[in-house]
Amino acid sequence: MNCKEVEEGEILEAYLLDRLSEAERDAFEQHYFACEACLAQLQTSLTMQEELRSQPSARTHAGSVFFRQVWLWAPALAATVVLAVGLWRYSARQHPALQVSSAPPATSPHVSVQATPPSPPAASLEDLARVQPPPYNAVVLRGAEDEAQTTFHTAMQSYSKGDYARAIPGLRAAMKASPRTAKFTFYLGASYLLTGQNDAAIAALSKTIAFNDPLYSELAHYYLAKAYLGKKEVPAAEQELRSVVRLHGSRETEAEEILRQLPR
């Protein structure tokens, strides 16, 4: 392989996207082991790839893909809403006692109504660090599981029962058998966090984030923030919470709320 072939065949890009055959990959690696120009270009492109993957514009685009998918489902969603409203009206006619009054409830003389909502009481760092275990739904796939998956599922049985300490050895074994699986490192990090091992949680959750797995990135940032809060490292926690907000996922509101309550 030479530089011209690399450029014309878009080899560098295919290499970064893992689209080369084993033989092509070896040939390109042997080339840049002996070619300064291609090595420099590869270093730049790899850095560019990692930067682009972490930029917020990526989320905007992901959002647009999501909305395109929502529009595909929109007619079915609308039909479901119409059906549900119809059933509710029918049910209400049949059972008047179930009707909900649309009139405002009478104000109790003992309850004073405030013009502005009360400001929330200041939360301590201990309160902010408090954590609910991330949910886990076992998905059973057809076909034989590999050793790592089997070990993981066994460990997650303990996790599901709330026995996080017992889950840890199995999760570590699963991670050892398959070190590139974000799911394993994430639940290991969560288990460490839930057993008060903040440093170990930080290591495992940081590793999860490095994998860039969209299923676990947001959750990993969120629980990493909790781990930092547990260690009273507010700036690090703030940084993670801001990452959660940028991802615009299911934890965005919670992250914003915690950010508002962080001590300044």
Partner 1 sequence: MQLLSTTNAGEQRNLVERIRQGDASAETELVREFSQRIFVMSVVRTRDRELARELVQDTLMAVIGALRKGQLQEPDKLAAFVHGTARNLINNQLRRDRQKPPLEPLTEDVACSGAVEQLEAAERVRLVHQALDRLAEEDRKILWMTLAEGHKPGEIAAALGLTPEVVRTRKLRATRKVSDLIRKKM
Binding site for partner 1 (CB under 8 A): 13, 15-18, 26, 29-30, 32-36, 39-53, 55, 57-58, 61, 176-180, 207, 210-212
Please report how close the Cβ of residue 236 comes to partner 1 at its closest, in angstroms: 18
Shortest CB 17 distance to partner 1, Å: 5
Q: Which is nearer to partner 1, 2 or 99 (CB)?
A: 2
Tell me how far, at minimum, the Cβ of 234 lies from partner 1, in Å. 24
Please identify, using beta-carbon distances, which residue of 133 and 249 lies nearer to partner 1. Answer: 249
Other CB atoms within 10 Å distance of the CB of residue 32:
21
Cα(131)–Cα(197) distance, rounded to whole angstroms? 13
Looking at the Cβ atoms of 28 and 164, the one nearer to partner 1 is: 28
Compute the least distance from the CB of residue 10 to partner 1, in Å.
8
Angle between helical axes of 22-32 and 36-53 (0-180°, round to 10): 120
Question: From the CB of 206, what's the least distance to partner 1, in Å?
Answer: 9
Contact 133, 190 (CB under 8 A): yes
Handedness of CA 200, 235, 61, 19 (dihedral sign): negative
SS (H, E, C) the chain: CCHHHHHHCCHHHHHHCCCCCHHHHHHHHHHHCCCHHHHHHHHHHHHHHHHHHCCHHHHHHHHHHHHHHHHHHHHHHHHHHHHHHHHHHHHHHHCHHHCCCCCCCCCCCCCCCCCCCCCCCCCCHHHHHCCCCCCCCCCCCCCCCCHHHHHHHHHHHHHHCCCHHHHHHHHHHHHHHCCCCHHHHHHHHHHHHHCCCHHHHHHHHHHHHHCCCCCCHHHHHHHHHHHHHHCCCHHHHHHHHHHHHHHCCCCHHHHHHHHHHCCC
- Residue number, 128 or 185, with CB nearest to partner 1: 185
Between 31 and 251, CB nearer to partner 1: 31
Identify which of residues 52 and 84 has a Cβ nearer to partner 1 in the complex. Answer: 52
Smallest distance from the beta carbon of 173 to partner 1, in angstroms?
Answer: 11
Question: Between residues 72 and 122, which has the closer beta carbon with respect to partner 1?
Answer: 72
For residue 89, the minimal CB distance to partner 1 (Å) is: 43
